[in-house]
C-alpha cells in the first residue's frame, strides 16, 4: 500500500508513559562499551553507583534514545524490511535522572518522496518530559523507507547535513567493540534479529549479525564524552549523527573529531574495512 501523505503527516501519539531505573541506565552504558576497564573510575561512574564512597550515578546523554523505547507517532504502514535508520538528532534540555517516570509525545515532522525507485524519508519527533511536564530531551529520528517512494509527496526541503571541517582531525580515538556487544545492547530494547540471529542476518544479506546503528550512535557520544566533555553528561546540549554503513561486533571504530568553539564535529570509520559508518556528526557542548 503506497504512503498516504496526509494520514502520515497527521500521526501523533501524546502522553505515552514510561519508567526506568538505574538498572536500565547502567545496562545502556555497558551496552555502548563503558566499563570495559573495571578500574577506570571515570567510566565506572556510569555503570556502578558506588558503595563505601557513595556517588551519584551518571547517565549517558544518549540514554535518551532508549528511555522510552517503543514510543512512536503511530503505525506508518511502511515496508519494514526496507526501512533503515537514517539519522538521529537529540537535543538535551537538562541531564537525565538515574531513575524516572517520563512521558513521550511523538509526532511526524516531514515526509519526503525521493521517487518510485528511490524511497521515502520520514522525520518524526519525540519529546521526553519528566513528571512535572518539563522537557528532558527532544529526539528527531529520520527513517529511510527504501520501498515506499513514488507516492507524490514533496521532494524538496530536507535539512542539510552538518559539514565536518576539511582540515586534519584535532583528535582521533579508537573504540573497540566486543564480539558480543550487540547481544548486550539488544537488551536495551531493540530485539531486531538482524543483530543477534546469524541465520536471519544471512538472509538479510549480511555475513553475520551487525551492531545496532543506535549502539554506534551511543559509541560516538562516548567518544565525545572522553575527549572534549571530561565525562560530564551535563556538557551535552545536542548530539547528531547520520548512519552510513553498519559496524560488525568486534570491530574497532575510529572516531575523527574537530572542535570549533562549543561545536564538536565527528565522523566514524572502520579502518579495517575502509568504510565510514557515521557521517556529518555534530555535538554541541555547553
For 219, the 3-state DSSP assignment is helix
Q: How far apart, in Å, do the first and last CA atoms of the chain sit? A: 45
- Characterize the bridge pairing of strands 100-115 and 135-145: unpaired
Over residues 52-77, the pLDDT tens digits come to 988 899 999 999 999 999 999 999 98
Low-confidence winner among 23-32, 145-154, 223-232 (lowest mean pLDDT)? 145-154
Question: Is pLDDT above 70 for 128?
Answer: yes
Average the pLDDT over 252-278 and give the result: 98
Catalytic residue among 89, 105, 124, 195: 195
Q: State if pTM tops 0.85.
A: yes
Residue 190 known to be catalytic: yes
93 has pLDDT over 80? yes
pLDDT over 70 at 1, yes or no? no
The strand ranges marked E within the chain are 12-20, 83-92, 100-115, 119-129, 135-145, 171-176, 236-243, 252-260, 263-270, 275-285
Q: Average of pLDDT values for 36-65? A: 94
Arithmetic mean of pLDDT over the chain: 95
> Is the pLDDT reported for residue 81 higher than 80?
no
* Fold observed for domain 1-159: Thiol Ester Dehydrase; Chain A (3.10.129)
Mean pLDDT of 149-168: 93
Q: How buried is 15 (Cβ within 10 angstroms: 0-12 exposed, 13-18 middle, 19+ buried)?
A: exposed
Domain segments of the chain as ranges: 1-159, 171-285
218 closest CA partner among 261, 247, 260:
247
**Confidence band for 257, pLDDT divided at 50, 70 and 90:** very high
Q: Do domains 1-159 and 171-285 have the same CATH topology?
A: yes
Average pLDDT, integer, range 28-53: 94
Q: What's the whole-number mean pLDDT along residues 220-244?
A: 98
Please determine, for residue 267, whether its predicted confidence score (pLDDT) is greater than 70: yes
Active-site residue identified among 113, 190, 212, 239: 190
Contacts with 234 (C-beta within 8 Å, 6 or more apart), sequence order: 95, 286
Question: What architecture is the 171-285 domain classified under in CATH?
Answer: Roll (3.10)
Q: Which of 276, 52, 253, 53 is nearest to 164 (CA)?
A: 276
Q: Is residue 212 annotated as part of the catalytic site, yes or no?
A: no
Give the CA radius of gyration of the chain: 19
| CA atoms of 270 and 244, how far apart (whole Å) | 12
**How large is the average pLDDT for residues 204-226?**
96
> Quick one: pLDDT at residue 30?
98
Amino acid at each position: 500500500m503506497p504512503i498516504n501523505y496526509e494520514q502520515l503527516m497527521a500521526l501523533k501519539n501524546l502522553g505515552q508513559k514510561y519508567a526506568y531505573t538505574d538498572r536500565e541506565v547502567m545496562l545502556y552504558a555497558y551496552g555502548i562499551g563503558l566499563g570495559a576497564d573495571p578500574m577506570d573510575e571515570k567510566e565506572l561512574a556510569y555503570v556502578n553507583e558506588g558503595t563505601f564512597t557513595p556517588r551519584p550515578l551518571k547517565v549517558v546523554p544518549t540514554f535518551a534514545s532508549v528511555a522510552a523505547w517503543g514510543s512512536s507517532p503511530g503505525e506508518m504502514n511502511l515496508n519494514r524490511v526496507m526501512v533503515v535508520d537514517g539519522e538521529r538528532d537529540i537535543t538535551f534540555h537538562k541531564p537525565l535522572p538515574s531513575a524516572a517516570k517520563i512521558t513521550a509525545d511523538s509526532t511526524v515532522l516531514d515526509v519526503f518522496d525521493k521517487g518510485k525507485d528511490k524511497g521515502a524519508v520520514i522525520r518524526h519527533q519525540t519529546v521526553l518530559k519528566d513528571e512535572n511536564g518539563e522537557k528532558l530531551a527532544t529526539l528527531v529520528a529520520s527513517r529511510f523507507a527504501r520501498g515506499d517512494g513514488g507516492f507524490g509527496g514533496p521532494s524538496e526541503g530536507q535539512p542539510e547535513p552538518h559539514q565536518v571541517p576539511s582540515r586534519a582531525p584535532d583528535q582521533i580515538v579508537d573504540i573497540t567493540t566486543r564480539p558480543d556487544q550487540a547481544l548486550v545492547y539488544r537488551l536495551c530494547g531493540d530485539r531486531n534479529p538482524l543483530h543477534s540471529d546469524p541465520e536471519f542476518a544471512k538472509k538479510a544479506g549480511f555475513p553475520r549479525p551487525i551492531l545496532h546503528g543506535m549502539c554506534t550512535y551511543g559509541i560516538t557520544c562516548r567518544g565525545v564524552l572522553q575527549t572534549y566533555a571530561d565525562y560530564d553528561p551535563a556538557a551535552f546540549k545536542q548530539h547528531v549523527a547520520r548512519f552510513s554503513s553498519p559496524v560488525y561486533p568486534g570491530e574497532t571504530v575510529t572516531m575523527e573529531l574537530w572542535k570549533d568553539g562549543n561545536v564538536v564535529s565527528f565522523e566514524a570509520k572502520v579502518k579495517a574495512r575502509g568504510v565510514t559508518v557515521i557521517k556529518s556528526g555534530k555535538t554541541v557542548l555547553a
